[in-house]
Amino acid sequence: DGGITQSPKYLFRKEGQNVTLSCEQNLNHDAMYWYRQDPGQGLRLIYYSQIVNDFQKGDIAEGYSVSREKKESFPLTVTSAQKNPTAFYLCASSITGGTGANVLTFGAGSRLTVL
Amino acid sequence: GQNIDQPTEMTATEGAIVQINCTYQTSGFNGLFWYQQHAGEAPTFLSYNVLDGLEEKGRFSSFLSRSKGYSYLLLKELQMKDSASYLCADMDSNYQLIWGAGTKLIIKP
């Protein structure tokens, strides 16, 4: 079955450590996205990529980094520069970006807690 | 500016009908989406409206009025499994989604 897989599901980190969240899709989608979800707030876009080897900052990119070396993979690194990293992180993909009926398929999410 | 509003929480009874409203104010508009998200899980796509009117899909329907910056999601014959958060998102002129905070729907027997 095609889908989008995030790992790990739960992750604990000490302050000052970088962590990398994995996102893999086998849907042959061109576009991939990382969102952050906090209680009482809408999803906020961290980074997105519409094509391999290219990505753009979203609304809250500071303290995060990404890479898109393969079409299937879009890992997110939460660096020590991110001041408030505890959150639920969602990866998503779509057939392509930049169109109207751009339906997103989401992964199950990764919950990061900073101790 | 960009702003999207929906109620924080709603309660309804199993078998009943509920309407979840969403208002938006964005610079440019390329469609309005509704997603369902069960607690701790991934959001899943429910509907997309880009033209005014009602789109019906089984027990769920979605309505859009572009002139009023208004949409609603209508859920009929409510089932316990419909207990979830419902996320409204509109697509701006750059084809980026602006998300509401979600409406938590509680279904009571």
Q: Does A46 touch chain B (CB under 8 A)?
A: no
Rounded Cα gap, residues A94 and B31, in angstroms: 16
Give B106 to chain A, closest Cα distance, Å. Answer: 16
Of residues A82 and A90, which shows the higher confidence score? A90
A101/B4 Cβ within 8 A: no
CB contact under 8 A, A40 and B101: yes
The yes-or-no verdict on residue B108 having pLDDT over 70 is: yes
pLDDT tier at A81, thresholds 50, 70, 90 = confident
Q: Which residue of B has its CA nearest to A98?
A: B95
Q: What pLDDT score does B72 carry?
A: 98
Q: Which residues contact B69 (CB under 8 A, 6 or more apart)?
A: B23, B24, B25
Interchain pair A103, B100: CB under 8 A: no
* Interface mutation target, options A48, A93, A104, chain B, most CBs of B under 10 Å: A104
The pLDDT tens digits of the residues spanning B10-52 come to 999 999 999 999 999 877 788 999 999 999 899 999 999 999 9
Query: Chain B contact for A104, CB < 8 A?
Result: yes
Confidence of residue B2 (pLDDT cuts 50, 70, 90): low
Q: Is the model's pLDDT at A2 over the cut of 70? A: yes
Q: What is the pLDDT of residues A90-110, one digit of tens each?
A: 999 998 876 667 899 999 999
Nearest partner of B74 among B99, B51, B53, judged by Cα = B53
Task: Return the pLDDT at A88.
Answer: 96
Query: What was the pLDDT predicted at B93?
Result: 81
Whether residues A43 and B48 touch (CB distance < 8 A) is answered with no
The pLDDT confidence band at residue B63, using thresholds 50, 70 and 90, is very high
Interface test with B, best of A30, A44, A102 (most B CBs within 10 A): A102
Is A103 an 8 Å CB contact of chain B? yes
Q: pLDDT exceeding 90 applies to what percent of chain B? A: 84
Give mean pLDDT, residues B52-66: 96
Q: Do A100 and B91 touch (CB under 8 A)?
A: yes
DSSP notation for A41-78 = S--EEEEEEEETTEEEE-TT-TTEEE--SBTTB--EEE
pLDDT in tens, A49-80: 999 999 999 999 999 999 999 999 999 999 98
* Residue partners of B94: CB distance under 8 A and separation at least 6: B28
Suggest the residue from A33, A106, A110, A113 to mutate for an interface test with chain B (most B CBs closer than 10 A): A106
Q: Which tokens sit at A72?
A: 């299937």
Query: What's the confidence (pLDDT) of residue A100?
Result: 65
Indicate whether A89 pLDDT > 60.
Answer: yes
Cα-Cα-Cα-Cα dihedral sign, residues B84, A102, A84, A18: positive
